[in-house]
Amino acid sequence: MSGLEDEGVGRLAMRWCTGWEGGPASRQPQAGRPVTALGETWTAGWPEGQVRTAGVGAVVLAVIGVCGASDRQLEEALPVVRAQQWRALTRWPGSYLVVARSGPTLAVIGDLSGQHPVYYRREAAGTWWATSATALAALDGAPADPVALAAHLAFGQPDVLASRSLFRTVNRVPTGHLLQITPEGARTVRYEPAEYEPVSLREAAPTVRAALAEAVAVRMDGRPVSADLAGLDSTTLACLAARHRPVTVVTFADERLRDDDLAYAQRTAAVMPQLRHQKVPGATDTVYYAGLDDVSALPFTDTPNAFAVSAAVKRTVLDAVIALQTAPGVHLTGVAGDGLLSASPSYLADLLRERQRPRAWQHAQGHARLRQTSVWSVLGRARPAARIGLAGGWRQAAAELRDTPRQWVPQVRRPIAWTPLLATADWMSTDVRHQLADALTTAADELREPPERLAAWMDSQDLARIGADTSGWRTLALDEHGIEIAAPYLDNEVRRACLAVPADQRGTPGRYKPLLAEAFAGTDVLPDFVLERATKGGFNALSYAGLVQHAPALRRLLGPSSRLGAMGLVTDGPVGAMLARAAAGQATAQGALHVAVVTEVWLRQLEHAGAWWEVTGRVAVA
């Protein structure tokens, strides 16, 4: 490979929406399409069938995306809009954005998992909003915000600096909030509780089953349907889809993975005649980090996209899908199933805080057996987080940032924390670390109504991060294959149904994904042997192979010409040492390298992202 290629205008394949409140707009998005009855509101890239409106004048409702509401249901929801009962508009199956007008009030409501984010910026004459922060920044060339980028790299939790986007002057609407614009200005309003009233696993099972079935059914729109057939989560979706029509199912089966996904997939396809199974073999170049020597080969995404690293694997799978179908269609993925249907041991901190000591001890024993360690070690990791809340966790992280950088050890050997620092935090310059610590302290001082349970906070942040990444994968799949990625586990109602079950019930160490087993046991949706499965595949082998195989390209990417380095977000010494470990096949901070690489790719693409807006010839307001 030669030097990095990042010249030329980037490819804008994103779907996005935007609007202006404050009189006639002076600009509109390039190739934008006005949304009926909503004045200065446009969509860009969205197919007409996924942009629907009801009402006119003072009461209007628009849904943009995959929404299970019929046209009649949208009309019947207009009294709900008039009463400004915003949360009720987010209860339909699917994944969609809501834009609703009730008299002088406009509400813009994204989803709960970050696939339809909402951003805004205030101008002298009014307010711009959009589902793309980059587009709003492009109105006047607002630069990237180094502190927000530092938080993105160091925490991996989108709501730590909740209202800061990755650009200066562009505000972000936090998870579970909506944007409300009135003649007095713009503000964010919480519409979703920070945590749910607990529902037992047994009680929640029928609701989870119904929500998943509806989430899959709403994607059956006449186009060809394909699905991953690998773990328990994706297999469930494939089998639900097969109740409607034949489904092309694919299993990526690289011999380096050494898992049993293929064996289970073949058994499942053998007893489910509606599943048309295809094995997708790996190759030498189907590894992580392939192709990053030419960042212009990837479509631009609004935020750094984790799937940029695994694009070679995703392309191989989608190439197989296209070869098996007559036209591009919908591809179901089980992404986010792990986060909803199980739970990390972080919930042990909640049990200790709530003085459920016998249950904490019982669960710690189970986790200790799984990890081949002592129960005291498991409980010892949980105790620090049990003694503080979210604000205290942020102040603790700020203190660590003001201290000297840590020596790297695997994250599983560090104490459980409300906002754990990734290894990337230790690669930053001292000045950036101190600026981030100051921002984190301010956020702790201003925190209002935080969740009481660590597990609820972690679940919310993990899903928001996964949702944003899935949007990037959707952009890649549409740009290169015309295939629409569908992630039903990220739908609002699926998320609500699953997260109402306490983490200690979803993540009990004695059963694998008990919520899914409870939801589908005794039905004819899934074969029993699938529900009894207790193993899971993973891609670590391909990540390590890619780190070794593409070490020179990664060193150039994060070397002297690094955009991250120029901003003090990485420093050469620790990054070089970690890449050297990776190239030697030694244990390394995979997650930290992953996020650093995709953020560097994104910054390079941002320099050539192309034009977003065109002037309308009206009086300038932006």
pLDDT at 621 over 80: no
Strands (E), 24-170: 27-29, 33-34, 41-44, 51-56, 59-67, 94-102, 105-109, 119-122, 127-130
Q: State the Cα–Cα distance between residues 63 and 492, nearest whole angstrom.
A: 14
- Partner residues linked to 187 by β-bridges: 180
- What pLDDT does 348 receive? 97
Are the CB atoms for 19 and 38 separated by under 8 Å? yes
The residues, any chain, with a CB within 8 Å of residue 446's CB and separated by 6 or more, are: none
- What pLDDT does 441 receive? 98
Comparison of pLDDT for 486 and 12, the residue scoring more: 486
pLDDT at 1 over 70: no
Q: State the Cα–Cα distance between residues 602 and 394, nearest whole angstrom.
A: 27
pTM (two decimals):
0.96
Are the CB atoms for 297 and 291 separated by under 8 Å? yes
The arithmetic mean of pLDDT across residues 2-21, rounded, is: 68
**Residue-wise pLDDT tens digits, 445-483:** 999 989 999 999 999 999 999 999 999 999 999 999 999
Query: How far are the Cα atoms of 115, 484, 598 from residue 298, in angstroms, in the given order?
Result: 19, 17, 11
> Which amino acid is it at 379?
L
- What pLDDT does 617 receive? 63
pLDDT at 68 over 90: yes
- What pLDDT does 2 receive? 35
| pLDDT, the chain, mean | 94
The structure tokens listed for 271 are 């007893």
Q: State the Cα–Cα distance between residues 552 and 565, nearest whole angstrom.
A: 17
Nearest C-alpha neighbor of 485 from the set 281, 304, 301: 301
Are the CB atoms for 526 and 243 separated by under 8 Å? no
pLDDT at 4 over 90: no
Nearest C-alpha neighbor of 437 from the set 386, 473, 390, 403: 403
User: Taking the CB of residue 278, how many other CB atoms lie within 10 A of it?
Assistant: 17
Q: State the Cα–Cα distance between residues 18 and 34, nearest whole angstrom.
A: 10
The structure tokens listed for 68 are 């299970």
Which bin fits 142, alpha (ψ -120 to 50), beta or left (φ > 0)? beta
Q: State the Cα–Cα distance between residues 11 and 2, nearest whole angstrom.
A: 22
Q: State the Cα–Cα distance between residues 437 and 553, nearest whole angstrom.
A: 32
Are the CB atoms for 110 and 173 separated by under 8 Å? yes
Question: What is the band of 620 on the pLDDT scale with cuts at 50, 70, 90?
Answer: very low
**What phi, psi does 230 have (nearest 5°)?**
-140, -90
Long-range contact list for 560-563, CB < 8 A, 24+ apart? 561/4, 562/600, 563/600, 563/603, 563/604
Comparison of pLDDT for 620 and 592, the residue scoring more: 592
Number of H helices, E strands in the chain: 24, 19
User: How many residues are there in the chain?
Assistant: 622
**What phi, psi does 532 have (nearest 5°)?**
-90, -5
> Which amino acid is it at 518?
E
pLDDT at 6 over 60: no
**Residue-wise pLDDT tens digits, 371-411:** 899 999 999 999 999 999 999 999 999 999 999 999 999 98
Q: How far is CA 382 from the centre of its chain?
A: 26
Question: What is the band of 12 on the pLDDT scale with cuts at 50, 70, 90?
Answer: low
Q: State the Cα–Cα distance between residues 100 and 321, nearest whole angstrom.
A: 37
> Which amino acid is it at 195?
E
The arithmetic mean of pLDDT across residues 337-342, rounded, is: 94
Q: What percent of the chain has pLDDT over 70?
A: 97
- What pLDDT does 618 receive? 55
Question: What is the band of 3 on the pLDDT scale with cuts at 50, 70, 90?
Answer: very low
**Residue-wise pLDDT tens digits, 47-62:** 999 999 999 999 999 9
Are the CB atoms for 185 and 22 separated by under 8 Å? no
Q: State the Cα–Cα distance between residues 508 and 351, nearest whole angstrom.
A: 12
